[in-house]
Structure 1
Amino acid sequence: VDKLDAIVGESKVSSVTTDNAPNMEKAWGILESTRGLLCNGCAAHVLNLLLQDVAKMDEIKRVAAGAEAITAYFMGRQQLLAWRRSTRSKKKTKKAQEAEAQRKKKQELKAAVFQNVDNLVRDEDFWMKGEQVIQLLEPIIKKLQLLESDHCYISMAYWAFRDLLKQPIYCDPTFLVSTAKAILVQIEARWNKVHTDAMCIAFFLDPAQDPNGFVGKDRKNSKKQIRKMAKRLGYTPEEVDQAYHEAGVFWNLMRDWTPKQRRIESRSAPLEWWGDERDSYPVLSRIARRVFTMPTSSAASERNWSAHKFVYSDRRVNLGLDKINMLISMYWDRLEKPLPRVIFNPAILQTAVTSEGDDDEEENRIHYEAHDSDGEENYEHEVLA
């Protein structure tokens, strides 16, 4: 934190978003008690872990295995056809004869694979189960997409998990009942781990949220946590009491809103709303504006950090030779061309990575010349720096 303060200025860092490892949670406590920072886990990471838990369930595993077999078969057909064409010749050489023998063995294996895929394709129960599995995963995937975005407030993380906990497809399932109920158990387990004070306070202070949308005793606890947060942020005893009082006034105001008025108030982002209402809530608005700067995922935090051109370590922006070659191989494979031998000048790489454009918004790109095995054809390829 001291190094970051030296880069961006003292007291400019207001929150920390990390993954959800146990050692990180202990680090949060130290930072919150000694630096007055707001700490939170990556909500998107929790949903990724939830998907991993769900993928281990028997019904999901069976459908996924069948889908992988079908996908692998169809994705590999072009390579098989290209391999067969490469062994054709008017006059068979010794090398071609060996290739022919390998082809026959491969054809036998291919026939067995085809039979398995053919059975899956013709199995109506497989496709029905596949559609049901997609329906079970869809709510989680949509929430993951939301929480990984840059314009998502931390209050939405609370809403997302609360919405998953109340999904009829898990609470009152009509198909794959045991699997759906098992998913609900996993959602509850992950919710207990991602459920933080900062997230509850954000939901409490978000004018777009339903006041009755809290889970359990979170509403009462959130108001108490506002007092604790004010103390942790170094506010005076008078300011702490005032923040608690303003929280009660704001809460009662929200409860009096009609649905139409709530829709009108929700047109403004929480940060904008609290900026406009700073005169009505002079202390609480300071806490709210700090809370709503917290991203919902570590990916969004890193993108925000990079957008302001802050680099903690120069080595993190340098791509090594192995990774460069891997990227070129992947991009070249998409063009469905034979992979060329890649030649590049490391000096060009260093220049491209370290160069910065003042007014030019175009992305830096690295150009490489690639030659085929005979050195006859030249290709020019671009890789993002």
Structure 2
Amino acid sequence: MHGCSIMPDGWTDREKLFELLDSLVDEIGEEHVVQVVTDNGSNHVATGKMLMEKRRHLYWTSCAAHCIGLMLEDIGKIPLVKNTIRRDVALVGYIYSHTFTLSLLRSFTKKKELMRPAITRFATSFLSLERIHKQKDNLRKMFTCDEWVQNKLSKDAKEREATKTVMMPSFWRHVVFILKVMAPLVRVLRLVDSEKKPAMGYIYEAMETAKETIMKSFSNNEQRYANIFKIIDDRWNYQLHRPLHAAGHILNPDIFYENKRLEFDREVTNRFI
């Protein structure tokens, strides 16, 4: 066998999985194994790291969609992001939990919804934030209109909290911040999870473009996005930033002929070689 990729099924015991993969590499011959591919489960990630520490020339890579999903999940743990998403979930949940509030919402938004499921939980959160931001003015009108103020629901604690959220300037500023950060990464997630176009030759470019978009959205003020880039780089550099993706990048005519200087990019060409 030559140029093999080893891809394990789901396992919960990392030690057993490591022993199995290690023995397979010996059986096939280390010189014939190109890479080990796993999903992003914690046990598989730990096994991949263990294998790379022992077999220095092996590449470990993981499912791109899971990796981007984990970037979004890590960003979701930042207190500002976490609290904003929590407020959004409470607001949307409250509106959709009552027939009256849902009917009132649809009358103001012309039946445009605030909820839409997506690939991952945090992509769903992004889409929800994107939708409520588009309906910001309508939501504010809804929570201050006579029909709402005169309804008995407007007097309970959850309603007061929902109204507070909608009228809070800092909440909307934080929503804009999250959209600037998450939108480019969600676009990458859609690319790698799509079956319409092979993602291999586009992942490298997509991640570079995503980071450039984030930088521009904050006017290249590094202080505003430094912690976001650390999260992205920690996942990208360790799990997906592989020579295989650099090769797919430079061999993609769609990208190569659009960027005449790509062949002089030392990082790309070195990884390609």
Count of residue pairs the alignment pairs up: 186
Tell me how far 1:126 sits from its aligned partner.
Answer: 1.8
Q: Is the 8 A contact 2:215 2:221 kept in 1?
A: no
Q: Specify the alignment match of 2:97 in structure 1.
A: 76
Matched, 1:24 2:45: no
* 4+ residue segments displaced more than 4 Å: 14-17, 25-31, 174-179, 213-216
Distance 1:27 1:114, change over 3 A: same
Kindly tell me: are residues 17 and 73 of structure 1, through their superposed partners in 2, closer, same or farther at Cα, counting changes over 3 Å? Answer: same
Most deviating of 177-186 and 200-209: 177-186
Equivalences for 1:1-385 in 2 at 5 Å?
17-20=37-40, 21-24=45-48, 40-78=61-99, 111-150=156-195, 151-167=197-213, 169-170=214-215, 173-174=218-219, 178-193=223-238, 194-210=240-256, 212-213=261-262, 217-224=266-273
CA contact (8 A) 1:170 1:184 kept: no
Mapped partners of 2:272, 2:222: distance in 1: 38
- Give the superposition deviation at 1:217: 3.5
Structure 1, gaps ≥5 residues long: 5-13, 82-106, 225-385
2:75–2:228 Cα contact (<8 Å) kept: yes
Length-normalised TM-score, structure 2? 0.55
Amino acid in structure 2 at the alignment position of 1:24: G
The residue type equivalent to 1:182 in the other structure is N
| 3-state SS, counterpart of residue 254 of structure 2 | coil
How far does residue 214 in structure 1 lie from its aligned partner after superposition? 7.9
Unaligned runs of 5+ in 2: 1-5, 10-33, 103-151
Aligned AA for 1:202? G
Cα distance change on mapping 1:214 and 1:56 into 2, 3 Å: farther
Aligned-pair Cα RMSD in Å: 4.1
Change (3 A) 1:16 1:111: same
Identity across matched positions, percent: 20
SS at match of 1:152: coil
Distance in 2 between the 1:215 and 1:187 partners? 25
User: What secondary structure is seen at the aligned counterpart in 2 of 1:165?
Assistant: helix
Q: Could you give the per-residue CA deviations for residues 108-143 of structure 1, whole angstroms, max 9, x where no partner exists?
A: 9x8111111111122233224323322321111111
Tell whether the 8 Å contact from 1:162 to 1:215 is kept in structure 2 after alignment. Answer: no
Structure 1 residues 177 and 141: alpha-carbon distance in aligned structure 2, compared to 1, 3 A threshold: same
Deviations 1:29-67 (A, max 9, x none): 999x99xxx974211111111001111112212211211
Give the conservation status (yes or no) of the 8 Å contact 2:243–2:272: no
CA–CA distance in structure 2, aligned partners of residues 164 and 214 of structure 1:
21
Distance 2:217 2:66 in 1: 27
More helix by share: 2
Residue by residue, what CA displacement relative to the aligned partner does 1:82-125 show, whole Å, maximum 9, x if unpaired? xxxxxxxxxxxxxxxxxxxxxxxxx99x8111111111122233
SS in 2 for 1:208: helix
Match in the other structure for 2:107: none
Provide the secondary structure at the position in 2 that maps to 1:166.
Answer: helix
Aligned equivalents of 1:175, 1:74: Cα separation in 2: 37
